[in-house]
Structure 1
Amino acid sequence: MAANIDMHTHSTASDGVNSPALNIRLAAEKGMGGLAVTDHDTVSGVSEALCEADNYSNFICIPGIEISTLANGQDIHVLGYFIDHENAEFLSKLEQLRTVRNKRNEKIVKNLQKLGFSITMEEVAAKKKSSSGNIGRPHIAEVLMEKGIISSLREAFEKYLGKGKAAYAVTERISPAEAIKIIFDAGGVPVLAHPGLYDQDELIPMLKEQGLAGLEVYHSDHSAEQEAHYRHLAERYQLIPTGGSDYHGIRNGTVFHGELGNRYSDLKTVERLKSFSKKYR
């Protein structure tokens, strides 16, 4: 079996372009060994992905989540792997998190309106690829591109949607430590996503004390120097180093974050993560 397992992917269940099943098919066609379904604050795409994965021998589909949190005024994302995606209490908590996410989106759109841009939440919602999917910043970027305000997803985030940019907004959210507990309670394994995007390395030992199991060392937006740095920190704090593309699909000819499978974990890493899971022990 191929060893490359992409541990960070998004689908139409949140702000990805492809259906969960299509992501599985694309990964299998690439000869990958598997992938984790890690949509933002939802597990609604997991069942479809697991069903599709059954069509491929020796292909691993990991039920996961990427939970949005807030620390020191900044969005911090926590990945959860081997989640019990049918846990009723877990699903209820995710519904509350999505309400907060929607408020954040509304604030961003209002900020863009204050900048003089004609954009509405209705236009943004129309960009969802699935009626049950979450709205995210890539959907807002799509509208901006369609209106000719910017020419690419990268430009949208560099000018308006990224941290500290003209239309950026945050809302009150749970802390990373609370996300770790939510993931634990659902039988999962918590991993800090793309730490190189935060400039808050002091969070790592603090979250380790709260039960953090892994660190996303290999990510599409990490430089080689950052990957070496976080590999060292993973060793220092005895965290499992993981890798994922953060694949969202192709919008207007551009791959957001990275191509499927361009960062990955090997089977040994996946087995280490699985050994921490209550549900899959």
Structure 2
Amino acid sequence: MNTVTASVAPVGILLREWRAARRLSQLDLALEAGMSARHLSCIENGKSRASREAVTRLADALDMPLRERNALLVAAGYAPMHPESGLGTPALEPVRRAIDLILEQQEPYPAYVINRHWDVLMANRAAMNVNRFLLGRDSAYDNMLRQFFDPADLRSRVVNWEEIAGDLLRHLHGRIAATPSDVVARALLDEVLGHPGVPVRWRRREVDNAPSLLLTSVFRRDDTELRFFSTMTTFATPHDVTLDELCIECCFPDDEATAAFCRALADANRKN
């Protein structure tokens, strides 16, 4: 083990990782956080203990997500600041009602609630109906990236797969670059890159190639083609880790044929 690394407090390691991710020098971060570069250097090297207020200011300057803010506080020897509540807990009951309303209003078109790792936490009836139609069964995964990258799953029904999958990977690469401590995202990247037919160039982050603002996903089963574009809804200024990581994806038909199919599919499933 490197003796220098071993002697450094965990908070110092985290701060250096985040500075590198944000491309900030010690002086840049110190100025943003309202402290001296010497004090920040001492914190990173384990020679000085940061106050809780200083850690909070550093997290603000680094624009850290709530989960990572908690991790930084714990590494510095303090209790986490932001709670993490399950969607089914009383604390988030008003939010759950709002989410249920959004999912219901999106019918007969698909809508999903996903977290920062693209796990599908909730979905409306239309989403389940459309997926079952496309696959002829339920998906093997509760994760959108896995669905879109496994040739035996939804990937087999995506006409413009390379366009959609490439865009999803750009988002994943961006998340990893923005959140260097997210080991789950790194493992997910390795997993999806391991599927056959994934271009080698996707292993590297294309910094100059930002995710597209609007993409149409084109699906086909037999003679039926479905075209959707999506909108993403997040919660403003959340104080709970769960809310900070939630996103509601609503899919809208890109043509009348898709809209008519979704309406007919909803009617058929109501009769069954």
TM-score (norm 2): 0.27
TM-score (norm 1): 0.26
Greater per-residue helix proportion: 2
Q: Considering only CA atoms, is the larger Rg found in Structure 1 or Structure 2?
A: 2
